[in-house]
Amino acid sequence: MTSDNFEKEKINLTPETGFALVGIDYFAEPGNQLYLVEHFDMYQDALNAKKDRKNPDEYFVLYKGASREFCCR
C-alpha cells in the first residue's frame, strides 16, 4: 500500500467525535485495506479493545485532536 492511499484511508475513517478502532487487511486491494472495527466514546475503551485483539499491532486508534487535527495511535 502506498503511504498516500494509507493516509487517505485513515482520514476517511477518522470520526468527528470519539475514537475509531481500525484494522488492517493486508490482502485487500490498495485503498481498501483499512476497516472500522468499532467506535468508542472514550480513548481508554478503544485502547483496551486494541490490547484485547490477537495481534494488537494490526490495529490502531484514529481520532481528531483538540485542534481538530488528525491523530493516529
pLDDT tens digits, one per residue of 17-44: 999 999 999 899 888 999 999 999 999 9
**pLDDT recorded at residue 23:** 95
Average pLDDT, integer, range 49-62: 93
Angstrom CA distances, 43 to 4, 15, 61, stand at 26, 12, 8
Write the pLDDT tens digit of every residue in 56-70: 999 999 999 888 888
Whether pTM > 0.75 for this model: the answer is yes
The count of structural domains within the chain is 1
* Range of the structural domain that residue 58 is part of: 3-72
**pLDDT recorded at residue 1:** 46
Q: How far is CA 63 from the centre of its chain?
A: 8
Tell whether the model's pLDDT for residue 2 goes beyond 80: no
Check the CA dihedral 46-51-55-60 and report its sign: positive
From CA 36, how far away is CA 57, in angstroms rounded?
15
